Chain A
């Protein structure tokens, strides 16, 4: 056992001594996955709940977790193996998106992760299964996580997936881990598939995003915000120019993504793509201060100063009635406790619980953060 693991184990024993009254959050930063696994094994021994943080940029997503012990990935922050000629990279979880993209610029490559969250960590983004706007063209993040190493809730280091760009070798463990919100264990190094940046890009302001989407050939993204629609193109210079001309509207070079703002409350409508316009109306009815609608994808993220419980309940039941969800992506903890971060649990919740029980038998990893108390 490493010194940190031993110290953590002693700390955990003290925390569980009924005569000691502690009311604090302890943060440990393991430097390897083996060390993280030892800490998890010790926590499982005493049944101590553990939360995981990367940069902590998405601490408010999911149901609030009560955990006195926090494992952060900040001490695992290296780019381990960059293979530009094979379009792959292996990164530790604490590397930020900004750092990763900076390392890829020498060969004009990109990992196609969220464009406007440079401080988020790779581990956090993979754990939360977050994708950027370019998913319309390149697919969601989970399509690019080719291999992942996890320190499981039962204290072992496990690698799933394959170290190549295409595989049908064993179960889709990377699919299971991506978006698991740390409920199966701590997500460590991941092997990501890269794409090259196109030689030319453009952002075009359009009136009707849906019409523009149909006129464009495989755009990066088609976004609607208050008062404007934008379509994002990439390709060769000739291709981008020809398309800009065909679509019409004001065009400028480069990708001008909507700037994130930090409202006290953030909701995400995830609905079948044909309901995006209706979701925008629903978001506005709740008095959104701003929103970004992803056409062709089916996500509308909206910011609020406050919401009423009734209005929220109506919006959530509409989203669920069309086969989607309304997720609270940021709020004070109390509000998520009251309304539930996710809404009705998915039909497969019992199967999900079976999975959780086998990867985290002691129930210590981010307990309750997912729907259905998983």
Chain B
């Protein structure tokens, strides 16, 4: 290990190689629950430097873990003891923006919101907008196939990535995809998105930019029961209207948010829906009317329509500060990220409340309802003995309920370490074996982010006839 540190230091200098216990402690965790072992932390500033550190790690048999801002919620960037942790936040340049093709090449360390701000004067933005967008990086978004409220109409990160430059397990560099559509051969660009740092380190990203909307309105709809709100969501989708965003927050969440930012949310409603209608000025009025009608038909007690930019911004600030707001309730939180068919939301949510009650834990809900992407969030104090175990057990039951309703484990946070042992609840041994084959094609020796995504023993079959 000392030899590896020497070589890394010779390459990057003292201040970009850290093995001080304090750094090791800081970087042993992301925004999820688990803490890992002590890594050697490096801060490369170019693709060549990434390639070089990967080769050094390879020569010393060190596992390699990529890290962006560390806001991941699945333990994806959590290192094991003795790993090389490659932090990409210094690779944060926006290289070039093509206005005609509406694309840009950017470094993986560019912060999500910075990209949209940098392209705003050209009338463009990067559509995926995770709630963590003022902190998380484009590289992290690519690696987790991140979502966000506005991915309902625009699609998750994968629909917005046209190409990547990748440093592979052996330290070589390759470009996948590109500006031209439908690159011949396999769509390895698409495979890299959502691969959580297990197939290579993304060192440059070609993003698709989306033209800004011409007109916008935000609707805040209040309901007396969760079921009414959930039915409204199902009916909106079934009507074929896909609003730009359709989010749900339950009463405990609204109360927490109101205490925190005073966004004007009702604190007496069982649930609210927040919808964004974006588009051409001649079309938004009709969509607003349609949404309000469906809400009222399903028992909405009030529908507030905000067309003024500052009023809209305030309503969205409420939604986006949800995670900050819950910190007042308890120091820790844990949330699931399951997705269920939009026809099953009401039923799954009510079972989720039952589980929380049975385990006697504090449950709040704030989620991407339009996609069926649930985020039942448990707020707790990990210092309380046995509490973490209870929370994890309850969360697992909630996952089981979602899977039984035809859902899946994660809509946007990824599998990482925290959900990998649940993978066999949604994939057969053959399915997992196929995924393991793909991983092996990129990383024969298993040096990239080992122990993440796939449960141990996924590679269960022989290679078949030779």
Contact = CB atoms under 8 A, between A and B. Distances in A.
Interface of A: 41, 44-45, 83-88, 107-109, 129, 131, 135, 139-140, 142-143, 152-160, 162-173, 175-176, 178-180, 195-197, 210, 217-218, 235-236, 238-239, 241-243, 270-274, 296-299, 322-325, 327, 342-343, 345-349, 351-352, 354-355, 357-359, 361-362, 370-372, 374
Contact of B340 (A142, A164, A242, A361): A164
Given A44-B465, A196-B242, 18 more contacts: A86-B341, A156-B461, A164-B411, A166-B371, A166-B372, A168-B411, A170-B423, A171-B439, A172-B191, A218-B280, A235-B279, A235-B282, A236-B283, A239-B283, A345-B185, A352-B186, A352-B188, A358-B441
Contact of A152 (B280, B337, B434, B465): B434
B182 interface: yes
A348 B151 contact: no
A140 B158 CA distance: 11
Interface string B194-218: 1100000000000000010010000
A355 B187 contact: no
Contacts of B413: 168
Given A166-B371, A218-B211, A243-B280, A270 B180 contact: yes
A172 B410 contact: no
Contacts of B241: 196
Interface in B164-201: 168, 174-176, 178-188, 190-191, 193-195
Interface stretch (B55-63, B250-258, B401-409): B401-409
A143 B155 contact: yes
A173 B438 contact: yes
Interface in B217-268: 234, 237-242
Contacts of B414: 168
B342 A85 contact: yes
A129 B182 contact: yes
A166 B181 contact: no
A348 B176 contact: yes
Chain B interface main SS type: loop
21 contacts: A85-B343, A86-B372, A108-B240, A154-B461, A163-B341, A164-B406, A166-B151, A166-B373, A168-B146, A169-B408, A172-B158, A173-B434, A173-B435, A176-B191, A176-B438, A196-B239, A210-B100, A236-B283, A348-B188, A351-B168, A370-B185
B339 A165 contact: yes
Contact of A298 (B179, B187, B240, B337): B179
Given A172-B193, A270-B180, A351-B441, A372 B411 contact: no
Contacts of B307: none
B98 interface: yes
User: Which range contains the number of B residues in contact with the other chain?
Assistant: 35 or more
A272 B103 CA distance: 10
Interface stretch (B106-114, B312-320, B355-363, B424-432): B424-432
Contacts of A299: 181-182
Contacts of B279: 217-218, 235, 239
Interface in B70-121: 98, 100-103
B438 A358 contact: yes
Nearest to B235: A85
B45 interface: no
Given A108-B240, A172-B194, A162 B408 contact: yes
B47 interface: no
B343 A274 contact: no
Given A158-B431, A162-B426, A217-B279, A180 B186 contact: yes
B159 interface: yes
B179 A371 contact: no
| Central interface residue in B181, B280, B414, by most chain A CB within 10 Å | B181
B181 A167 contact: no
B393 to A, nearest CB: 21
Interface string B427-454: 1101111110111111000000000011
B191 A362 contact: no
Contact of B184 (A152, A171, A371): A371
Given A162-B408, A168-B413, A170-B427, A217 B214 contact: yes
Contact of B412 (A168, A171, A178, A327): A168
B336 interface: no
A109 B238 CA distance: 10
